[in-house]
Amino acid sequence: MSGGSPSSLASDDGAGSILTVAIIGSVVALTMVVLPVYAGFAARRSVAGAADASALAAADTAVGLLPGFPCDAASTVAAANGAMITACVVDGLVVTVTASRAVLGIAVTAVATAGPVGAGVD
């Protein structure tokens, strides 16, 4: 039977196609929500690594193992890791740096402290 009879309207022909399109749409929507969150987590770890490396380089410079100024060394290392130093505090041989990078328009920051053993670094 074809045409506009009531029995053809009650048929579930094509329901699988609609369900498939709905599932694909749901997966795409979920991916669009979750992907930026994972990008933020990855950026946080990356900035934390940049802050750690920058603090270590600055502490090595403060101790005298490397020539130059501690905060300049921290800035150089942070730039090499895709971040920038927003704060650098030298307290004797202990250096605390704050590194930052913008990800998806949001500033991601991390703080790291480094210095020689026994110099008051927690």
Count, residues in the chain: 122
pTM above 0.85, yes or no: no
Long-range contacts formed by 79-82: CB under 8 A, 24+ apart = 81/46, 81/49, 81/50, 81/53, 81/54, 82/46, 82/50
Give the DSSP H/E element, type plus range, for residue 73: helix 70-80
pLDDT (tens digit, 9 = 90+) per residue, 20-51? Answer: 999 999 999 999 999 988 988 999 999 999 99
Return the pLDDT at 7. 56
Output DSSP code: residue 109: E
Could you say which residues of the chain have pLDDT below 70? Answer: 1-10, 119-122
Domain boundaries, the chain: 17-114
